[in-house]
Amino acid sequence: METVTLAVNYTGHPFMESLIENKPMLISLIVAVLGIVILPFGSFADALQLVHLDYDLRIMFFKVLAFDFIASFLIDRVLVFIFGRVKQKSL
């Protein structure tokens, strides 16, 4: 869930690099998301000796993660619409 918060709240310009320009950040987000999706399934779970979750529990887990991402994104956009973005002042 911290990964979702980081991905949604990363603002980019004018205060930071955009996510596309910040390659280490982009790669770490991609690896984290792939890890979350791949680990509950197959040989990765066996290699790490993870307890196998029931199919229904795995589906519920992914639904909660998807809801968290969508809700975080929508809340962020609504708050930006209400309060606006902070703009960098010229010196």
Q: Provide the residue-wise pLDDT of the chain in tens; the chain has 91 residues.
A: 677 766 766 666 666 677 788 888 889 888 988 888 887 776 777 787 888 888 898 889 889 988 988 998 899 889 888 988 767 666 6
Specify if 40 maps to a domain. yes
pTM of the model: 0.68
| Owning domain of residue 57 | 2-83
Cα 11 to Cα 29: distance, rounded to the nearest angstrom = 15
Specify if 9 maps to a domain. yes
Q: What is the pLDDT of residue 91?
A: 66
Specify if 90 maps to a domain. no
Report the domain count for the chain.
1
By the 10 Å C-beta count (0-12 exposed, 13-18 middle, 19+ buried), 4 is classed as buried
Specify if 88 maps to a domain. no
